[in-house]
Amino acid sequence: MKSKQQFLEQKNRLLEYWKKFKIINSKNILKAFRKIPREAFIPEPLKSQVYEDHPLPIGYGQTISQPTTVAIMTQALNPKPGEKVLEVGTGSGYQAAIIAEIVKPGVVITTELVSELAAIAKNNLYRANIRNVKVFLHDGSLGFKKEAPYDRIIVTAAAPRISQHWVEQLKTNGVIIAPIGSLTEQELIRAVKTKQGLKTQSLGDFVFVPLKGKEGWFE
Ligand code: SAH
């Protein structure tokens, strides 16, 4: 078992790397990563790997993304204090926790399809003392209309396309971050909703677990 000191050193190395290579260039975002304990979102037997830079299984065939992927997605989303953000794919709750820390007193609405994971995420968030995340058991490929509109939307599962529901539930000038492509490889897309339509940009190739549901790969 690793000591607290070893965790801290590993975490600091990751943060230094993100700063040096400008993966994160916002002080507020770095602060959130420094503050939120990723270990609170990892199943007990895997805790010794918490600050290694690779994805980890969280059960039910799902994974918590590699730390650097969470960093890239959070910087691309670039949430601001006071905003309301929708996350599709709660998983462990870690990505939601990072965004919640940045947007406070704003809120994160996050949706998950696997009821066991939604329950685990709620518990993880509670234990990490994060109170501004609401977890819903819901098909996020349809967005979450009840809480719309959103300032930003982040999708953490691989989608075949940008769902029209997400676009409709986003405010003008709002941002969507989503991995779009095939089941085996996706491009991370940053899309801005302008009055003239969606302006998209690719942030590179990634591999995510599939988005399920009505607008996903399988129902
Ligand atoms: N953001 C997570 C990682 C998510 S992995 C974290 O920080 O740990 C992707 C998650 O999306 C999985 O838990 C999967 O069950 C969920 N998912 C897949 N399709 C979904 C859908 N249509 N609606 C909501 N969640 C979905």
What residues contact residue 129 under an 8 Å CB cut-off, 6+ apart? none
- pLDDT value of position 151: 98
pTM confidence score: 0.97
- Distance (Å, whole) CA 6 – CA 198: 44
pLDDT digits (tens, 9 = 90+) for 56-115: 999 999 999 999 999 999 999 999 999 999 999 999 999 999 999 999 999 999 999 999
3, 65, 92, 163: which one is catalytic? 65
**pLDDT one-digit tens code per residue, 179-192:** 999 999 999 999 99
Share of residues in the chain with pLDDT > 90 (%)? 95
Q: pLDDT for 12-34, tens place per residue?
A: 999 999 999 999 999 999 999 99
User: How many whole angstroms from 155 Cα to the centroid of ligand 1?
Assistant: 8
Euclidean distance between CA atoms 143 and 156, whole angstroms: 13
3 tagged catalytic: no
DSSP 123: H
CA of 156 to the centre of ligand 1 (A): 6
The per-residue pLDDT for 1 is 60
